[in-house]
Chains A and B, each alone.
Chain A
Amino acid sequence: MRHLDPVRTEFLVIGGGAAGMLVGTYLSERRRDVALVDTGTSCTALSTGCFNGSGINEDMLEFLLPRLMSNGLSMIRYGEQMLLLGNAGNRYRCRLAPQYTAMGTLESMQQSRLAVVGIEGNSEVDPELICSLLRQDAGLKADPVHISNRGRMSLNALCDALNQVDADAIMLPPLFPLRDYNAAMLELNERTGRIVFEPVTPLSLPGLRLAEAMHEMLSISGCRVMDHRRVTKLIQIGGRYDTAIVQTPGTTQEVNFSTLIIAGGSAIGPGLSISGKEVTDPFEAFGITRKPEVQGVSPITRALSSGYEVDGRYRVIMSNGNSAENVFACGSALAGISYPLGKGLLDALDCAWDAAHYAEVSR
């Protein structure tokens, strides 16, 4: 194991998902000295790339949305009537989603003819499945279309193929990475004269695009990003944490900090540990809130609803019951953010926004 020279930062953020990147960007733009440690693919990258949640924090969105847009991802606010379609034929109501994700309101959809396009070799959209469910459940006029894909299809060839499709709106699997997304989708919409849109597909490009756009935003902010590393240990002196041991498979490094923000996510990812059936704190320092183990509550539910407990200023409660002076936690690392299921990213972002503000003024 190679020992790298220790580094010093004012704020250390653990976690490169939506919550951590928002905190890192905010503090860096406030001209603070920030380092962010990130293990790799975040749950944000596996998400649907849409924003849903119990409330909307306007200040947070006012900060986030323009920054996403300038990095190639325009998020649109959808009204209550707007429907998004999932690749399991399911329907979403979503507060904010990338442009080219919605086809219209249920009413407008019911009056149009929809074509669901499957592209050979792409298994994300199964046209027969989606059409059948949409016809059955939503009463839509939807027909499957298959486009063969010999070699690499150019945008021109795709346009030509879509022009042959007899429909008012076309659902296309997510095909374009962030750098091409807006331009390609705009061109397809204009050249075909139809609404060309993507379904909501988790574990796919939309989540990656969101993660990539947020990563761009973070890099531009000046935050020091320590990629593909893990914080394995926290060290305290006199009750105050001030050092993190940061490791890669071959290296180890001490990072000294004044303030720590934990945004490593829930136990779905590597953010929290699991020991037996219990979710635990990987740093063995902070308290974890769990549901009591009672008959009828599944271990999955218990684990999903477990996480760090924080005080009113997002300071982590330590194992001894006191608030840690300079350690904050936010995002789905907090108990109650990942569960009940399906709450979406907004709750994680909202608490990250608040935690960043409290951390900023902490001493």
Chain B
Amino acid sequence: MPKVDVLIIGAGVTGAGIARDLSMRGASVLLLDRGDFCSGASGANHGMLHSGARYAVKDPDSAKECATEANILRKIAAPFIEDIGGLFVSLPEDDYGFAEKFKRGCSNAGVDARELDVSEAREMEPSLSGDMVRAFWVDDGSIDPFGLTLANIEDARSKGVKVRNYCEVVGLDVKDYSIEAVRFKDHRSGIIESMNPSVVVNAAGAWSSSIAGMAGQKLALRIDKGSMVVLNGRLCRMLVNRLRLPADGDIVVPNHSSTIIGTTSSGVTSGDGNSPTEVEVSYLLRETAKVVPGIASARAVRAYCGVRPLIPTGGGGRSASRNFKVLDHAGSGIDNLISVIGGKLTTYRLMAEKVSDLACQKINNNNKCRTAKETISEMPVIDSVQGIHDMALLRMAKKNGSAYQNVLEQCVSYPRGKEEVCTCERVLRGEIQYHLKKGDARNASDLVKRTRVGMGYCQGGLCMLGLMSAAMGVSKTAPIEYIDSFLTERNKGVMPILVGEQLRQEMFKAHLLRGVYGIREESR
């Protein structure tokens, strides 16, 4: 049976970060995911780089971690971060005195926060409500979780890590208080393979209880669903938070070509089968429009939800800490299993460091963590290219970071590589082909994550034929299956927002794609 130092289960941002960290310390690593990268919480979040202010009052430890980690990420993952700054804003209906607690909390946690005049705040962010009572500036930003995760994966690969998506762990064979073999099924080939790791890291997020269960371990987890809505266009310049104890409908994040509002919090029993509801969508729209009134007349393009793998505490989802926990199962009978739960996108690097420290200890590797210093990806230099719009180049750079030159090479060298496949997001044909050639992407949804194709205003309503065409000759999957998986995924997000004119447009797209092209039969 092949051997490896560390086998990591779960290729979200945490698993990817651990793989990179360990590879930098010279360990041999295999990273597996049952689906594509970022298919759990890493792919369904706000894309918010927390300054820590949100947790300053209730959760000072998380606040501190966020403050430190956000500044590290600004240095090591620059292409994926937009330093737009954030505001905390209270309304007449909110507790006036909360601002004092907020100020104190931020100061204690080392989170930079400065109170603004209401007029000063409006000048910085003209989209804010006239009802605003108090306002603070904080150092929030937005971050692209796909870009960040993929860059971690690519960097880890360059350092020898084997990364395989669509490989699902089906069994952990325990012998003498240790996992001797990890059995996993490659969904591409259907073959079950085995690996003998020295250490197993369970970074499966909302699914980590069931992984632990395969080794007979109990892992208590609170799976918490959070829903978000994507609105057409950037409706504000800065990230806008509600100045109150964290609650539903608090956050407005301008991101790429859209604005994401959220979130909600509700306990669910499984990471699978969740979807945003119409009730959540209308609540989020109503609540965020109080702070940014323009939202009331904005067009929702999609809703989605993620599942937070929280550390269970007495209270509900909002009172649960956003801290993370590294669990050494040696104490409960499995010497070489480590689980990691809780945490945030912003603190993923620290989580990876702590997990890697413990894993290295178990394999007697004394090398120190270097991820806080060494960049994952640099913002590339962008020169104009004939036949490609500068905006498309900039977008390509921000999505791909250090891989930019390679992606661009494909666009320029392939005969029709410069053609725009998705005009909303300015995705070029060559970008699609680059990612298909890499072999990780199996369907259109995977390509959406890597390139943002179909993620814009029209939500891939009409550009699917272009995507199919770009996939020709590059992919083994029949293009019609691409469309099918994409439409299924897309419909999940579109259903809760279908009201009025939006419904009319979707009827037309259904008529066109299914009725006219016969691409997919309506199931009901």
Q: Which residues from chain A sit less than 8 Å from chain B, CB to CB?
A: 47-48, 86-88, 90, 92, 126, 128-129, 132-133, 136, 202-203, 266-268, 274-277, 296-301, 303-304, 338-343
Given the complex, which residues of B lie within 8 Å of A48, measured CB to CB? 516
A86 to B480, CA, bound (A): 14
| Residues B495 and A276 in contact, CB atoms below 8 Å apart | no
Minimum CB distance partner of A50 in chain B: B516
Interface size, chain B (Cβ < 8 Å): 31
B240 at the interface (CB under 8 A from A): no
B116 at the interface (CB under 8 A from A): no
| Residues B506 and A300 in contact, CB atoms below 8 Å apart | yes
Given the complex, which residues of A lie within 8 Å of B499, measured CB to CB? 276-277
A300 to B472, CA, bound (A): 30
Min CB–CB distance A292 → chain B (angstroms) = 12
Extra A-B contacts (4), CB below 8 Å, given A126-B469, A298-B495: A88-B517, A128-B473, A275-B500, A341-B510
Min CB–CB distance B502 → chain A (angstroms) = 9
* 14 CB < 8 A contacts A-B: A48-B516, A88-B465, A92-B518, A129-B465, A267-B503, A267-B504, A268-B507, A276-B500, A299-B498, A300-B498, A300-B503, A304-B510, A341-B514, A342-B514
Our pick among B479, B504, B524 for the contact of A297 (Cβ within 8 Å) is B524
Given the complex, which residues of A lie within 8 Å of B507, measured CB to CB? 266-268, 300, 303-304
| Residues B511 and A268 in contact, CB atoms below 8 Å apart | yes
A238 to B504, CA, bound (A): 35
B515 at the interface (CB under 8 A from A): yes
| Residue of B473, B480, B504, B507 most packed against chain A (CB within 10 A) | B507
Min CB–CB distance A277 → chain B (angstroms) = 6
| Residues B516 and A299 in contact, CB atoms below 8 Å apart | no
Given the complex, which residues of B lie within 8 Å of A203, measured CB to CB? 512
A300 to B517, CA, bound (A): 17
Chain A binding surface, main DSSP class: loop
B491 at the interface (CB under 8 A from A): yes
Given the complex, which residues of A lie within 8 Å of B503, measured CB to CB? 267, 274, 277, 299-300, 303
| Residues A128 and B469 in contact, CB atoms below 8 Å apart | yes
B508 at the interface (CB under 8 A from A): yes
| Residues B524 and A301 in contact, CB atoms below 8 Å apart | yes
A339 to B507, CA, bound (A): 11
A299 to B503, CA, bound (A): 8
Say whether, besides A277-B498, A303-B503, A304-B507, A296 and B524 are in contact (CB < 8 Å).
yes
Given the complex, which residues of A lie within 8 Å of B519, measured CB to CB? 88, 90
Q: Which residues from chain B sit less than 8 Å from chain A, CB to CB?
A: 465-466, 468-469, 472-473, 478-480, 491, 495, 498-501, 503-504, 506-508, 510-512, 514-519, 522, 524
A271 to B408, CA, bound (A): 47
Say whether, besides A88-B468, A129-B465, A268 and B518 are in contact (CB < 8 Å).
no
Min CB–CB distance B451 → chain A (angstroms) = 18
A92 to B515, CA, bound (A): 11
A340 to B473, CA, bound (A): 34
A301 to B507, CA, bound (A): 8
| Residues B508 and A301 in contact, CB atoms below 8 Å apart | no
| Residues A274 and B506 in contact, CB atoms below 8 Å apart | no
Given the complex, which residues of B lie within 8 Å of A339, measured CB to CB? 522
A304 to B524, CA, bound (A): 12
Minimum CB distance partner of B491 in chain A: A298
Min CB–CB distance B511 → chain A (angstroms) = 6
Given the complex, which residues of B lie within 8 Å of A129, measured CB to CB? 465, 468-469, 472, 479
| Residues A202 and B500 in contact, CB atoms below 8 Å apart | no
| Residues B468 and A342 in contact, CB atoms below 8 Å apart | no
Given the complex, which residues of B lie within 8 Å of A128, measured CB to CB? 469, 472-473
| Residues B524 and A298 in contact, CB atoms below 8 Å apart | yes
Our pick among A274, A296, A341 for the contact of B504 (Cβ within 8 Å) is A274
Given the complex, which residues of B lie within 8 Å of A304, measured CB to CB? 507, 510-511
Given the complex, which residues of A lie within 8 Å of B478, measured CB to CB? 136
Say whether, besides A268-B508, A297-B524, A132 and B473 are in contact (CB < 8 Å).
yes
Given the complex, which residues of B lie within 8 Å of A340, measured CB to CB? 522
Min CB–CB distance B469 → chain A (angstroms) = 4
Given the complex, which residues of A lie within 8 Å of B512, measured CB to CB? 202-203
| Residues A341 and B511 in contact, CB atoms below 8 Å apart | yes
Min CB–CB distance B184 → chain A (angstroms) = 31
